Amino acid sequence: MSASIQSISLSGRKKQVSNKEMTFWESLYLIAIVKGLLITIKHFFRKKATIHYPEQTREFSPVYRGQHMLKRDELGRENCTACGLCALSCPAEAITMKAEERKPGEEHLYREEKYASIYEINMLRCIFCGLCEEACPKDAIYLTISKELVPANYDREDFIFGKDKLVMPLEMAMKNAQLKNAN
């Protein structure tokens, strides 16, 4: 019933190779070369796989971990309360922050009574593992929503991203709120 293992070809492309002496014409390699040339010229006219990066970006999967984003809630207030759990969970020690108390009249800016006045991530240290996202109790830090790659740069200092680069833009928060209300 069962066929011999030698005769099975799972891919359907099994080919018996031989080690016979080449004939004179084969040893000139001409026919093989012409065949090869035809294969390569087909590739010449084929559609290119390149994505012209800065102008075009590739599609990211929903769970792609890119540049971090500090989230705002529907009212545009920052979620982060500077508890430091992200920094604690970070295996690369890329995160640092400084906490401050919310003053009266700043309720529209920060959701919690305590907020991060300085929040910095060193993008050269970060390994984009997403443990900060998992540790966050306030739903504040996300790697999956920015859909951005950390851009290249010339100086090491420029890779320390502060709140100016990390906090979600206000318009985005407003748009999210509208979408939520519409639903």
By CB under 8 A, name the binding residues for another protein: 27-28, 30, 33, 36-37, 39-41, 43-44, 46-50, 52
Residue located via tokens 């998992």: 134
Least spacing, CB of residue 38 vs another protein, in Å: 9
Q: How many CA atoms lie within 13 A of 162 on its CB side?
A: 6
Least spacing, CB of residue 18 vs another protein, in Å: 20
The residue among 20 and 43 lying less far from another protein, judged by its C-beta, is 43
The residue among 39 and 182 lying less far from another protein, judged by its C-beta, is 39
The residue among 26 and 113 lying less far from another protein, judged by its C-beta, is 26
Q: Identify the CA nearest to 129 among candidates 155, 92, 163.
A: 92
Least spacing, CB of residue 43 vs another protein, in Å: 5
The residue among 41 and 179 lying less far from another protein, judged by its C-beta, is 41
The residue among 13 and 48 lying less far from another protein, judged by its C-beta, is 48
Least spacing, CB of residue 42 vs another protein, in Å: 9
Looking at 31-122, which runs of residues are DSSP E strands?
Answer: 69-70, 95-101, 114-122
Instruction: Return the exposure string of 1-14: e unless at least 16 CB atoms fall within 10 Å of the residue's CB, then b.
Output: eeeeeeeeeeeeee
- Per DSSP, helices labelled H in 14-169 are 24-27, 30-44, 85-89, 131-135, 163-166
CA distance 127 to 153: 17
DSSP state of 56: S
Token output for 132: 């900060």
Least spacing, CB of residue 22 vs another protein, in Å: 11
